[in-house]
Copies of this chain bind each other. A is one copy, B any other.
Amino acid sequence: MKKIPLITLERYPDYCNYLLTLGEECERISSGAIAKALGLGEVLVRKDLAYTDCVGKPRLGYNRVELIGALRSVLKCDVHKNAAVIGVGKIGHALLSYERFEKYGITLVCGLDENPDVLDENAAKPIYDAKKLNDVVKKYDIELAVICVPDFCAQTVCDEIVASGVKRILTFAPTNLKVPDGVIVRYMDLAANLAVLASC
């Protein structure tokens, strides 16, 4: 099984979301229809889908339900994963009550913060002292960390996360993080995105 290019993987949630908007009355769908709905080329859609183990039938297209299953399988939606937010300010707090991660098999189980005022170990989504990072990672089997701390301490927090054994990091801090091989970082710089949008 050939490795799926990141750029293809990044389109999979879009395919999933679109296919899910189509009701039960849609049993089969062609690459051309998907392409048109998402504004992509139809050959690109077929190339992307060819990485999954869902095969289309000439003349009939793809089975919608089967295709969703194949995409979700690549996205590992059926393997449950736990995530934690480090830094529970406004953004971190908003993420903790964000429900949408579940559809990809991800539960944001808790937050961690240095500020004693925001700690609450008994909440539905508990907020632990940042010093307990190692224990929390072990207790919940955290595989994904979301960094929502202020810019200046992002690298320090990142180092602690890496030391705790977590290998996947999503960061909202606009800082280029240095991580060892094997650790993957994705960046979500809200301000930069808005700035690029404004200037293009």
Looking across the interface, which residue of chain B has its beta carbon closest to that of A100? Answer: B191
Cβ of A75 and Cβ of B195 under 8 Å apart?
yes
Interface residues of A in 52-100 (CB under 8 A from B): 74-77, 81, 83, 90-91, 93-95, 97-98, 100
Per-residue interface assignment for chain A, residues 181 to 200, with 1 indicating a CB less than 8 Å from any chain B CB and 0 otherwise? 00010101111111111111
**A2 contacts B by Cβ under 8 Å:** no
**A39 contacts B by Cβ under 8 Å:** yes
**A51 contacts B by Cβ under 8 Å:** no
CB distance from A95 to the nearest CB of B (A): 7
CB distance from A179 to the nearest CB of B (A): 10
Task: Select the stretch in A113-121, A123-131, A156-164, A168-176 that faces chain B.
Answer: A168-176
Interface centre among A21, A81, A144, A176 (most CB of B within 10 A): A176
Q: List 9 additional contacts besides A100-B174, A188-B193; criterion CB under 8 Å.
A: A12-B196, A13-B195, A74-B199, A100-B191, A101-B194, A104-B195, A106-B191, A106-B194, A169-B197
